[in-house]
Amino acid sequence: MTTLAQAVGDGAVITKRNLLKIKRVPELLVFATLSPIMFVLLFAFIFGSAIPLPGVDYKEFLMAGIFTQTVVFGSTITGASLAEDLQKGLIDRFRSLPMARSAVLVGRTNADIGNNIVTMFVMAVTGLLVGWRIRTSVLDALAAFGLLLLFAYAISWLMALVGLSVNSPEVVQNASFIIIFPLTFIANTFVPTDNFPPALKAFADWNPVSSVTLAARELFGNTSPALPPPDVWPAQHPVVYSLIWIVGILVIFVPLSVRKYESVAGR
């Protein structure tokens, strides 16, 4: 039976393997980073002038939403990579090795934390260059980045299940886009939800993407008392609501993903 220490060690080895893949194929990280930079520039300079917000610069309002959208979209790398390994037969090779069953999934999701850290750093520098500012303390800012990474990590486990359930990375990308695109746009990521139609506003108010965005926005100090006060519980307690979602996703999808991996690897 595999011990906890062995499982952690095996996961670290697979994490290193996935990080080395980025080093050998840097285009993966380059293109993953260019997309959020384009979003920052486009929204800041094209839409920013058309979206006035009382008491806060739109560039500052925007950045938390861009961070959240980027880490959610970035989680698709987990599913696509696992689907690719499955397609190429690497999962069968891993199965033949004396290693913990969870190591492949742990290594993949851990490596994607590294991807997100690099991407968020580049985005933060881009945001600072276009006028974004952090108005709170260093600890608050670190808490915001930590919450974003935790949410990304949770979504990565959901995407791991998707990647192990389909036949190719292309299917993962297409299926994820259909779900994630509306999830990140029917939210407060880019504009306040006050003028949304009632049905969309209700969805956006309880959407975890909205709560993570609002929590990061508050921790960065990019809010204003001139904006309408929140009238729903998730918006009044965004950090708590976000953590509830993160824990819930991990509790559900970590065991489901491991079980699916055992089923796939056992064929």
Give the pLDDT confidence score for residue 107 in this predicted structure: 84
Nearest partner of 228 among 54, 72, 74, 75, judged by Cα: 54
Compute the average pLDDT of residues 168-182.
82
Q: Which residue type occupies 153?
A: Y
List pLDDT tens digits, range 63-89.
999 999 989 988 888 888 888 877 777
Q: What is the mean pLDDT of residues 141-145?
A: 96
Please list, in sequence order, all residues whose beta carbon lies within 8 angstroms of the beta carbon of residue 98, skipping any fewer than 6 positions away: none
245 sits in which H/E element? helix 238-265
Cα 123 to chain centroid, rounded = 14
- Mean pLDDT across 140-166: 93
**What pLDDT sits at residue 248?**
97
CA neighbor of 154 nearest in space, from 67, 74, 253:
253
pTM for this structure? 0.89
Res 64: pLDDT = 94
Q: Mean pLDDT over all residues of the chain?
A: 84
240 vs 111: which has the higher pLDDT: 240
Does residue 205 or residue 84 have the better pLDDT? Answer: 205
Domain region containing 41: 4-265
Which pLDDT band, with edges at 50, 70 and 90, does 230 fall under? confident
How high is the pLDDT of residue 136?
93
Report whether pLDDT(3) > 60: no
Residue 118 to residue 81: CA distance in whole angstroms: 18
pLDDT band at 31 (very low <50, low <70, confident <90, very high): low
Q: How much is the pLDDT for 89?
A: 73
Number of domains the chain contains: 1
Better-scored residue on pLDDT, 130 or 9: 130
Distance CA 136, CA 64 (A): 14
**What average pLDDT does the segment 197-211 reach?**
94
Percent of the chain at pLDDT > 90 equals 36
What was the pLDDT predicted at 204? 94
State the Cα–Cα distance between residues 172 and 159, nearest whole angstrom: 8
Q: Specify the higher pLDDT residue, 61 or 102.
A: 61
Q: Which residue has the higher pLDDT, 37 or 238?
A: 238
